[in-house]
Amino acid sequence: MPVISAAAVEELRLKARKLRQDIITMIYEAASGHPGGALSVLDILVVLYYKVMKIDPGNYLDPQRDRLVLSKGHACPALYAVLADRGFFPSSYLSVLRKIDSPLQGHPDMRKTPGVEMSTGSLGQGLSAANGMALAARLDNSRRRVYVVLGDGEIQEGQVWEAAMTAAHYRLDNLTAFLDYNGLQIDGWIRDVKSPEPVAEKWRAFGWHVLEVEGHDYASLLKAIGRAHTNKGAPTIIIAHTVKGKGVSFMENQIDWHGRAPNKEEYEQALAELQK
């Protein structure tokens, strides 16, 4: 039985198309930022924020809410676009990304942006914080869940593996991690810079329940999340195979688009593609 109807998938696809336009527009207006990773991670966030997470934008500090930590903080334009669309803050915020006095910082700031659960940006730290949130949920005897999104380059940080041991040791089955496996980091393909492979085997060896999906396929993502929810006694990581720059032809799989803004011509071309 499909976990999501074809009509619902189409709805998400249209939503993601609009959010991708928001991402490109934000970064164009900010004249800096990280489009590649924001576009690769977006569909994971779309599934979580529109279909999975128990959250109430009108009461976003509800102690019983689900939490998401965007450990790869540089992808925050995707998170901001989603949070604005879900009503955590006015969409007018998007136009002041990275500008002076802005509620939307260049990397996520939990004290400035409603809906941001943890300040991130210094890579490698988000999984530890998510573990703490999952431990807190357990102490509270709460069924709330914690989600964390890691970058593939990010798992070169040693702290990630310290945290991986912690989550397994404490059997944090209320925690689900996502690996945005787009294969690229700033200096090139991660397999060339410093390969983290074999990725799935590593997480399995660290005691995790490991699933692999196509990271832009909503039905697959939802199915994997469902399996994560029912898995007991171990945390789950969903290795999401994604495309850096997904949705904009000239950005896809191009490392040049890790951390630069489009110029006017590129912006218009990207928008035209996303409006098709």
Partner 1 sequence: MTEKIATRDAYGKALVELGRRMDKIVVLDADLSKSTKTALFAEEFPLRFFNMGISEADMMGTAAGLAASGYIPFVSTFGVFATGRVFDQIRNSIAYTRLNVKIAATHTGITVGEDGASHQALEDIALMRVLPHMTVVVPADGRQTYQAVEAIAGCEGPVYLRLGRPKVPQVIPEGLPFELGRGQLLREGKDFAFLATGITVGLSLEASQLLERQGINAAVVNIHTIKPLDKDLLLHMAAKTGAFVTVEEHSVIGGLGSAIAELISGNYPIPVIRVGINDTFGESGSPEALLIKYGFTVENLIKAGQTAMEKKR
User: Which pair of tokens denotes residue 147?
Assistant: 């989600």
Radius of gyration of the chain (CA): 17
- The window from 108-116, 194-202, 222-230, 254-262 that contacts partner 1 (CB under 8 A) reads 108-116
136 binds partner 1 (CB under 8 A): yes
Window 139-158: contact mask with partner 1 (x via CB under 8 A): xx-----------------x
Shorter beta-carbon distance to partner 1: residue 38 or 163: 163
235: preceding bond cis by omega (within 30 degrees):
no
Q: By CB under 8 A, is residue 237 in contact with partner 1? A: no
Instruction: Provide the 8-state DSSP code for 116.
Output: -
- Comparing CB distances to partner 1, the nearer of 170 and 267 is 170
130 sits near partner 1 (criterion: CB under 8 A): yes
The CA–CA distances, whole Å, from 150 to 47, 76, 143, 252, 261 equal 16, 12, 23, 19, 22
Q: Which among 7-15, 50-58, 76-84, 112-120 is the span making contact with partner 1, rule CB under 8 A?
A: 112-120
CA 242, CA 42: separation in Å to the nearest integer? Answer: 10
Q: Which of helix, strand or coil describes residue 253?
A: coil
Helices (H), the chain: 6-30, 35-47, 76-86, 126-139, 158-169, 190-194, 199-205, 218-230, 264-275
Q: Which residues 163-182 are close enough to bind partner 1 by CB under 8 A?
A: 163, 165-166, 169-170
Kindly identify the residues of this chain, within the stretch 47-76, that bind partner 1 according to CB under 8 A.
Answer: 63, 67, 69
Tell me if 133 contacts partner 1 by CB under 8 A.
yes
Q: How far is the CB of 119 from partner 1 (least distance, A)?
A: 5
By CB under 8 A, tell whether 25 contacts partner 1.
no
